[in-house]
């Protein structure tokens, strides 16, 4: 009798490198959107961009902790809408960051939150395909 053992060796990036790549991406997206839409999104420029970095850190933390719970809770709604509800989870996270940082980070309107959420989702997709996957393939 032969026994076959199947192992799943998924490759992961170093956690600090993963964190750093996402911080740079979130910060670039937030700065770009705040420069394009000056009247609808505001990031405080005091202390050399500290509030933009704080917003990126809070978005990253909420994406790693709260987002999986929200995805699980809203799975029936996301299934019924064929995945169209998923970006609204990012909108909710952005509004939480707006609430946490107060006057230093403001997004005016749900439409602007939706645009920023779509930009962050697009950035995550591009980072995964253009940066993280090539690094993982190179290390194998």
pLDDT digits (tens, 9 = 90+) for 46-104: 877 788 889 999 998 998 899 999 999 999 999 999 988 888 898 999 999 999 999 99
DSSP string across 62-117: HHHHHHHHHHHHTHHHHHHTTTTTHHHHHHHHHHHHHHHHGGGEEE-SHHHHHHHH
Q: Residue 12's pLDDT is what? A: 63
Identify which has the larger pLDDT, 40 or 135: 40
Q: What is the pTM of this model?
A: 0.79
Pairing of strands 105-107, 41-43: antiparallel
d(CA 130, CA 111): 28
Residue 93's Cβ-count burial label (10 Å; 0-12, 13-18, 19+) is buried
Q: What is the mean pLDDT of the chain?
A: 84
Inform me whether the pLDDT recorded for 113 exceeds 80. yes
Q: How far is CA 61 from the centre of its chain?
A: 9
Q: Residue 15's pLDDT is what? A: 75
Domain ranges of the chain: 15-139
* Range name among 3-12, 16-25, 90-99, 130-139 with the lowest pLDDT average: 3-12
Sorting pLDDT into bands at 50, 70 and 90, what band is 7?
Answer: very low
Query: What's 38's DSSP letter?
Result: T
């Amino acid at each position: 009798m032969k026994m076959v053992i199947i192992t799943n060796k998924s490759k992961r990036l170093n956690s600090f490198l993963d964190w750093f790549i996402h911080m740079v991406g979130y910060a670039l997206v937030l700065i770009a959107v705040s420069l394009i839409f000056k009247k609808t999104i505001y990031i405080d420029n005091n202390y050399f961009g500290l509030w933009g970095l704080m917003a990126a850190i809070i978005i990253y933390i909420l994406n790693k902790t709260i987002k999986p719970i929200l995805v699980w809770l809203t799975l029936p709604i996301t299934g019924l809408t064929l995945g169209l509800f998923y970006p609204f989870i990012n909108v909710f996270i952005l509004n939480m960051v707006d609430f946490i940082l107060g006057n230093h980070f403001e997004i005016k309107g749900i439409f602007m939150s939706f645009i920023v959420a779509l930009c962050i989702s697009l950035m995550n997709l591009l980072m995964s395909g253009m940066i993280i996957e090539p690094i993982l393939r190179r290390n194998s």
